[in-house]
Amino acid sequence: MKSYRKELWFDIPTRRAFVNITGEVESCLRESGITEGLVLVNAMHITASVFINDDEPGLHHDYEVWLEKLAPHEPVSQYRHNGYEDNADAHLKRQVMGREVVVAITGGQLDFGTWERIFYGEFDGRRKKRVLVKIIGA
């Protein structure tokens, strides 16, 4: 069994964004030389997420609206965590969207459903953050 590890770095200029990182993960898979196994992709920051869904702008807009209803950014005074920072909503949004995904590797390819893509979700941007790609297999 082989193992591969790489960190992807993101510096999103806005507070929130959804970035399709499927291509970066596929590049990691090619670099690894692994053709059968599993890939773990996880956000290494508590105000960011990695998730799988469709790369469709309407859906991304719906996520933004839905997440803001669940955990509105303002007023920041509504959160106890905001005694130190103004990002309590980002922690909650990350909790809902998830920390990581695991995808099967079959025949040297990510074994996806028809419309599945991997996304980095940023909920408190404007600084560098990283995503771990860990691949194991043969």
Report domain extents, the chain: 2-137
- Phi/psi-derived region of residue 14, left when phi > 0, alpha when psi is between -120 and 50, beta in every other case: beta
Distance CA 12, CA 35 (A): 32
- Give the architecture-level CATH label for domain 2-137: Sandwich (2.60)
Residue with the two structure tokens 């995503």: 131
Express each pLDDT in 69-80 by its tens digit.
Answer: 999 999 999 999
User: Which of 2-6, 57-61, 81-85, 111-115 shows the lowest mean pLDDT across its residues?
Assistant: 81-85
Predicted TM-score (pTM) of this structure: 0.95
